[in-house]
Structures are given as structure tokens and as C-alpha cells.
Amino acid sequence: MKFAGCSGLRGEVTVPGDKSISHRSVMFGSIAKGITEVHNYLQGADCLSTISCFQKMGIEIENRGDVVLVHGKGLRGLTPPAEVLDCGNSGTTTRLISGILSAQDFDVTLTGDASIQKRPMKRIMEPLSLMGASIESVNGNGCAPLRISGRRLHGISYPSKVASAQVKSAILLAGLYADGETSVTEPYLSRNHSEIMLNYFGADVRTEIEDAAGTCGSANTVELPGQPQPAGRATAVIRPAKELHGNLVEVPGDISSAAFFLCAGLMAPNSEILVKNVGINPTRAGILSVIRDMGGDITLLNEHAGSGEPTADILVRSSSLHGTVIEGAVIPTLIDELPVIAAMACFADGTTVIRDAAELKVKESDRIAVMTENLTAMGADVTAAEDGMIIRGGRPLHGAVIDSHLDHRIAMTFAVAGLCADGETEILGAECVNISYPQFYEDLKRLLILS
């Protein structure tokens, strides 16, 4: 697919439902009693993999497009699948479902595509094994396929080396079934959709955040939009559940998908874009802080909360941007947005430094290497680091042939960069956006100002 420099972008766009929340709504609805009604469920390949896995375990799920109905059977209602569960390209499906399956009374094998079979699973295998689970890598390399034999679990207190919502969520989901309390301590608070939704479905989850002085405070409720994330260690604690109960879930627009339009509106000249109904949970909305730090013209409108998640319309306009430093506690709140932030930094005056983001190397691709390779091909001054990148902005970008490495975030990033560069940009493997945003290119094209 090819893109050429544009005169600007104007209009409104509504992005698909949040991927993280969509996954969880089907997972939690499947192990809850009664019907869970999900509005604005993301119809991307990853979330469809989650639906497929639970259907194969006996859960009736009606996917009507605009609404998904999950007929939950309770914590012990899953049945043994007749085949291997295929998680496709979805790391969220693979890791979170492992926590649930570790406590069932049957055996199952999980697999996925070539990318999933290279992504690290030891980070969930270790804590789940400590809880008594039987989980092994079929090929002995710490990756999928995973063979899981359900066992009786016991609670643990687990110090996680990384601030990862997927690791935390896998442990908490296993903790629903375990004897005694289960806790996970992270170096920083990662996205907390699991904690919010589990409580919404009737579980007992609490979070404590340790500040610089070592004092712990409760974080059971979602902070107000715009408040900074606490910088101390975060511990989530879950008690065993007798039952979860089906609920109505309103999925907000995915801020990771909105990010491409936000950055495009800031980078491209003569642009003004309103992105409607976006989730702005502070554990996900670090990009908003970075945009402000870089001098971006951004406004939140119509702020409200639905199903426990804060939501707003976001307005951006073309801006004179400057470099910044992105590090520390903000990294888990924008890890999926860092590729497009790196592209935006090329259009900013001065230097932008991204550090503490080694997690980028184990995403759908090694995003540090892939971003450095492709931005350099477009004429950017970018240096890869072990845990991030250094981007020296202010140099015009030119078109190039871009290898997406079949990574949806990379393809979308360079579609946006291509619209802001001189000449023509061709993206190889552009169809991989179907993983999270099947209508992305159509929505982007609709915003183009026709010269």
C-alpha cells in the first residue's frame, strides 16, 4: 500500500473499541454467571481469537458486530476443547487465558501464529507454576505452544520484574480460583483494566501504591483524567471468588488506535482532528502527557465514565513540537504508542529520548530495531538504544519502502509518517492492521484535505 504527502487532515473519527477491554469483557463474561452484553467490541483478529477460544470451551457467544452477547457459565463452567486453542497473533489472549486454564479440571494446549511462537511466555509460566499450575512450553523454549494441565492452585505474593498488565492479569485470574490471597507487585502501576473490570463483575481486588517515602495508599478507584500516574511500586491483591456475575460493558475507543490520528493531527500542517469517545484511563493515557510535554495543541472534551473507565473526546490541531524525554513510570502507560510517538518526534525541534522501554523488543516485532530501520530509510536521524531510541528531530522525511514486519502498530505508524513526508511511501504487509483496526486506512483517507 502506498501513501504520499498530504495538505492536511480535518474531521472527526471514531476509533474501534479498546482492544484490552474487549478481550477482558469476553474472558470475564465467559467465567461469570449470566449474560454479559458488550457494546463496541473490537472486531479485530486478536479479539476474534479470544471469542473463538471460549466458544471451543463450550461458551455460547453471539457476535452481532455492534453488540456481543456472552452466555457465561460461571467459574467452573468451561468444558474441555476438542482441539488445540489457537490464539492467533494475540499475546493478550495467550497470557490471560493461561491464568484461567491453570485452574480448570482439564488439559489444553495453546498455540498461535509464528509471531506468538517467538514471544516470551516464561514471564507467566514462572508465577503460575509457583501457584501450583502445570504449564510447559511444548518446544522447551519458553514460548508457545503451551501445554496446560489444570490443577488446584494456592495464592502467592509475586514480585514481577516488569510492569506488565498481561503478567499481572494472568496471575490475578488464577488467583480467582486459588486458596488464599494472591498478590502481584510491579515496579510501576501497569494498565489496570483487569482490576477495574474484575471488581465490576463482583470480584474482590484492591491495589496499593507505594510512594517515594515507602508509604502505601489505596488505588481502588480510577484517578481523574489528567492526573499524573504515581511513580512508586504497585501491588494488586485478589481474594478467591465464589462467583462472578455478568454485566453490561461499554467499551470505549482504543487510545492505542486513536494515537495515530492524534499524532497525525499534530504533525501534518493545516490539520484539526476530533477523535470521539476515547478511553483515557490514566494507566493507558501517557501519550496525552507526552503530547503536552512536546507542546502539542490538545483538548479533552465531554469527559465521562462508563463501566468504570474514564472516556473523552480528544481534539488536536497542527502544532510546533519540541523534543522531550520519555522514561520511567510513564512507559507502561504508552508502550504501544511509542512507535508513533517516535515518528512524531522526527517532526519536532530538538532531541527526543525514549528509555526504560526494552519491552518494545518483545512485541509483535522488535519495535526498537524496526522503527530505527524504517525511520532511517525515510531520512530521520535515529539511534537505537538497548532500551529505547534517540530521535534528533527537525529533518524532513522522504518516502521510502517500509517493511512492517507484519506488525500492525508499525504499519499504521508509517501510514501516518508517509502522509507527512515528501514523495511516496510504500508499506509492505500493510494488511496486518486487521489485527486491531480493520478500517484504519479508510478512516485515515476520509480525513485527507483534497488539494
- Given the C-alpha cell 492526573, which residue does it identify? 227
pLDDT reported for residue 231:
58
pLDDT reported for residue 211:
66
> 320: which strand partners?
none
* C-alpha to C-alpha distance for 168 and 159, rounded to whole angstroms: 10
2-15+252-446: CATH architecture: Alpha-beta prism (3.65)
Residue 336 annotated in active site: yes
Query: What's the one-letter identity of residue 17?
Result: G
What does the pLDDT look like over 378-400, one tens digit per residue? 999 999 999 999 999 999 999 99
Residue 425 phi/psi, 5-degree rounding, is: -115, 130
pLDDT reported for residue 226:
38
> 199: which strand partners?
none
E-strand ranges in 233-341 read 234-238, 248-250, 272-279, 297-306, 309-317, 325-326
- Rg of the chain (C-alpha set): 21
C-alpha cell at 143: 514460548
pLDDT reported for residue 167:
97
Half-sphere exposure of 213 (CA within 13 A, CB side): 3
* C-alpha to C-alpha distance for 77 and 91, rounded to whole angstroms: 24
pTM listed for this prediction = 0.89
Given this chain, do its domains 2-15+252-446 and 19-250 carry the same CATH topology?
yes
> Could you say which of 113, 254, 336, 407 is catalytic?
336
pLDDT along the chain (451 residues), means of 10: 92 96 98 98 96 98 96 98 97 98 98 95 98 98 97 97 94 98 95 96 94 48 40 90 96 97 97 98 96 98 89 98 96 96 98 97 96 98 98 96 97 97 97 95 94 61
* C-alpha to C-alpha distance for 126 and 130, rounded to whole angstroms: 6
pLDDT reported for residue 307:
79
Gap between the terminal Cα atoms of the chain: 21
pLDDT reported for residue 34:
98
Domain boundaries, the chain: 2-15+252-446, 19-250
Closest C-alpha among 145, 151, 144 to residue 129: 151
* 19-250: in CATH 3.65.10.10: yes
Closest C-alpha among 423, 13, 84, 87 to residue 257: 13
